[in-house]
Structure 1
Amino acid sequence: MFYGGLAIAVAIISLLVLLRALKTLFSGGWLMGWLKGTLGLALVVLSAIIGLFAWDVFSYHELLTEKSVATISFKQLEDQHYQAILVNADGVEQKFELKGDQWQLDARIFKWQPSLARYGLKPGYRLDRLAGRYFSLEEERLSERTVYDLNPSISGVDAWRWYKMVDQNIPWLDALYGSATYVPMSDGALYEINLTHSGLISRPLNEPAEVAIRRWQ
């Protein structure tokens, strides 16, 4: 898995920086020791940041071709109120309550430029956000909205957001945001979400989902 290997490589760099920091901190001499100590502490901090960056990169999955990244099913609790069950590609199940008439799933994507992609480097993705939406603009503006962060950067270092700020200076990799179009929620509906190189696509997997889509078209 490329992104796992990339995370390991970054983690090794973090470890090397930490070892250099420890060597600097424990070398002798008073004035030089103070200077080295300051430098050593700075290297420790840098090592920690690099390590957290590696941890965040590890949360991304490699995209080989069009891939099913999740399924989502709905149970109606009351009018414009649904329980959504999201199951990702690893089989991890999450339950959410969504308000509104439609749902949308977003993903963060790292995409290599064609000059590097031809050497086998594949895009990486991470599911990012699930949201409900009201069909009526007035309800969308005035009613309760439900938005969930699916994969927060628990380390506090967000590799995608950091790269998004600097990607104009790094031409060989793009940080993109992929979103499926808003799709209707309906009691018993089941959808599959596929990720392609151009973004997310949702497909109905049962009759309630197909009926819901026809009703909204």
Structure 2
Amino acid sequence: MDKFAVSTGLIGLTIGLIALLVFIYLISRLAKRKAGAGRAVNLLLNSAVLAVLSAAFIFLSLFVQTLNRYLHDQRIGTISARQEGQGLRMEFTDLKTEQRFNFELNGDQWMVEGYIVRWNPLLRWLGAGAYYKIDRFSGRYESDTCSLVPGRQVIDSSHRGLWKSLLKYGQRTKLIDAAYGIAAFQYPSQEAYGLYINDSGFIIKKE
């Protein structure tokens, strides 16, 4: 979870606990008839103010955590894609495995493909990161009449049986909201691209 969200949440809970203790103290004084009307009203107001402050901090914590999860894009790689004649010279660095891949594709565009598991809303809100796999890169042609084979480069061929099961049956579990294949494509460029992932899929950004 976001540190600021955790901090504000803990502050809110602490203030709420103090408010509860003040209220319990007030009830005990009233039960023993040791609190005058003025004293009782003062304690009640203090308890109410603390309760409002507690609620404000807790709601702020919830808002910050929700916003943080909504805006969070996890960087997972760096891509270089340059046009050379009718081909594409590709370089991909996987930040998770620290592996570097150099390969060539054909096409006007390049595409990255993979899989993603989207956790249920509670787990995502608590900060569960995307469970994903980058499967392959492939070339793309804008024209349907091109006779050249676009080609592809497999990045990770492991655990395909697991991902097949997740795509077919993963949504039956309460922990998984959805599991599906993902892809994103772009044109080659002299600039490098950053590859990111969020709860929906791949994001490609120029450096």
TM-score of the aligned structures, taking structure 2 as reference length: 0.58
2:137–2:154: 8 Å Cα contact kept in structure 1?
A: yes
Per the alignment, residue 178 of structure 1 pairs with 182
d(CA) in 1 for partners of 2:132, 2:157? 14
Say if 2:193 is the partner of 1:202: no
Equivalent residues of 2:116, 2:133 under 8 A apart = yes
Which residue does 1:209 correspond to in 2?
none
SS in structure 2 at match of 1:193: strand
In structure 2, list runs of 5 or more residues that go unmatched.
1-70
Q: TM-score if structure 1 supplies the norm length?
A: 0.55
Q: Please report how far the alpha carbon of residue 67 of structure 1 lies from its aligned counterpart in structure 2 after TM superposition.
A: 1.2
Q: Residues 39-58 of structure 1: matches in 2 within 5 Å? A: none
Q: Which residue of 1 aligns with 2:140?
A: 133
1:84-121 Cα distance to aligned partner (Å, 9 max, x none): 00011143210110101101112211221113434443
Q: Does 1:87 align with 2:103?
A: no
Distance 1:74 1:108 in 2: 22
Distance 1:122 1:94, change over 3 A: same
Q: Specify the code of the residue in structure 2 equivalent to 1:134.
A: Y
For residue 145 of structure 2, give the secondary structure of its aligned residue in structure 1.
Answer: helix
**Distance in structure 1 (CA, Å) of the matches to 2:93 and 2:198:** 18
Are 2:109 and 2:187, in contact at CA under 8 Å, matched by a contact in 1?
yes
Deviation, 1:150, is 1.1
SS of equivalent to 1:160: helix
| Cα distance in 2 between the residues matched to 1:86 and 1:120 | 27
Identify which of 110, 114, 117 aligns with 1:110. 117
Summarize deviations over 1:111-148 as a string: whole Å, max 9, x none: 21113434443321111121110121211xx3212122
* Sequence identity percentage: 26
The Cα of 1:152 is off from its aligned counterpart by: 0.5
What's the secondary structure of 1:158's corresponding residue?
A: helix
Cα separation, 2, equivalents of 1:190 and 1:118: 32
Structure 1 vs Structure 2 CA RMSD: 2.2
Q: After superposition, where does 1:4-19 map in structure 2 within 5 Å?
A: none
When the two structures are aligned, how many residues end up with a matched partner? 135
Query: Which amino acid counterpart does residue 150 of structure 1 have in structure 2?
Result: I
Listed one character per residue, the Cα deviations across residues 123-179 of structure 1 (whole Å, up to 9, x for unaligned) are 21111121110121211xx321212221101x6x62111122223432431322222
Match of 1:146 among 145, 151, 175: 151
Separation (CA, whole Å) in 1 of partners of 2:120 and 2:181 = 16
Report the counterpart of residue 34 of structure 2 in structure 1.
none
Unaligned runs of at least 5 residues, structure 1? 1-63, 206-217
Runs of 4+ in 1 over 4 A off after TM superposition: none
